[in-house]
Structure 1
Amino acid sequence: MLLNYQLKQSSKHETAKKSEIIFIIHGLFGSLSNLSSLGKELQNDYDVILVDVRNHGQSARSTTMTYQEMAGDIFELADSLSIETFSILGHSMGGKIAMECALSQPHRINRLVVADIAPTSHVDRHSDVFSGLQAVRASDVKNRTEADKVLAGYVDTPEIRQFLLKSYQRGDNGFQFIYDVDNLYQNYSVIRDWPEQNSYYDKPTLFIKGELSDYIDEASQPAIIALFPKAKLKVINATGHWLHAEKPKTFNRLVNNFFAQ
């Protein structure tokens, strides 16, 4: 599947030196705009490609969402742009896609950044979210303010509601989610799972964890070390799962320093 993407070209194209290319992959319920501030900052030194994962944003819809398929989407896009090797960063579900890319074709991935997710299966954390999104779709709301009131009956945290409703946009037939709620719901057990691996990625890797998040915990560290033996871990204090939105300056600095090494 050829994904929708946005290319931010580096100013280094004005020089003889070719820029490193970095793919950035958003998480569940997101879109390529979620990490655009990081993309803009990295653009000073690198070519940056932001993508909409299948069933998100302007990318095509699909009834299946295995990590092998979604990693294949990234490589298909790279091939279409004549990009042989690149670095990759992903948050949450996007982090799992990035890890699958590195493990399946390590010779094509130069560096890897994984934001607040581990290479393990995760428990169901989104039943209330899906119920809330379905309630919004079933209601006759005319704007995001009304949608927020409906969603508040299912999701307590205002910041999470704001994120979910960022993709609730006006279209030809009124307001609609630009992620496919039905396909995401049907594939949610696959999304929170992690496929069995028989390889490892032995290149520079950075995991960034939010201190208050438990998506990366002590129990997941053996899996990280086994699959990514050169991995380093950085923790952003007083931050949860949405670390790139909660502490963008710190997050962006860690990413920039890693790619500059």
Structure 2
Amino acid sequence: MTINRRSFTMLAGITLTSALVSSVMPALAAGTLEAVKERGSLRVGVTQAPPWYSKDPATGEWTSGVGVSAGKAMAEALGVKFEPVEVTWGTAVAALQSNKIDIMFVLDATEERKKAADFPESPLLYYSLAVLAKDDLSVSAWEDLNKPEIRISVPQATSMDKFLTENVSKADIQRFPGNTEAIAAFQSGRVDAVCLFHPPLIAARQKLGSGKIVVPSPVKSNPTSAAVRKGDAEFVAFVDGQLKDYYQSGKIQAWYEEFLTGFGLDPKAAPPIIKELL
């Protein structure tokens, strides 16, 4: 067989593709639970978004947040280490597909995401969509924001982004990689409001010292969940059982209140994240 430049390039491409596929296949073939135990760690997607995930700037360690607490509890249940892996809300599903993470907490089970990832039936927690707006901005309903002169920041490729696109399309919607960047746009005055679910806004308002948190009407409340790789029924069932325990035992609310207290906030002043307590 004669190998010319074109043939060599094709063979090299096939070899590279095979190598990439091979790096993902062992975990998929063995199943996530087996792969996690063999590796000795549960890889949890994390992104700077208090109160869900928070990195200690002094140490660079992911030390607090509801997602961090849930990840550590799940790792402990499996007898392995908690291994945080930095992603963004928009790249979390791709990170699951490419076998870079095993799970991502506080990810809404949208119809679009369900095509690429699996979600347990049990909710992780509930929250309401809200905005942190300028003090002088008049807003009580979503329609108040549906104007061309209103600038709103939001993390891209999220359920919040989808909601704004469908309900306040006339506004100037500015999309950012994550919560931190969206909040920074509000802090710098580049936008009039930032749209997130209410818990992160409580932490942001505390840090910024200005702005007002509004839950516009009609109120948009929904559950959030945890995403895992598609097609692994055993791992989905395990995660479902863990989330059910976190929710029904009140652990998820306790972790939330623990973060708020550590952040200098009174948990009693914040809406709960368990639906039955709302």
Fold similarity call, TM over 0.5: no
Q: Larger relative CO (CA 8 A, sep 6+): 1 or 2?
A: 2
Bigger radius of gyration? 2
Q: What TM-score does the superposition give when structure 2 sets the normalisation length?
A: 0.30
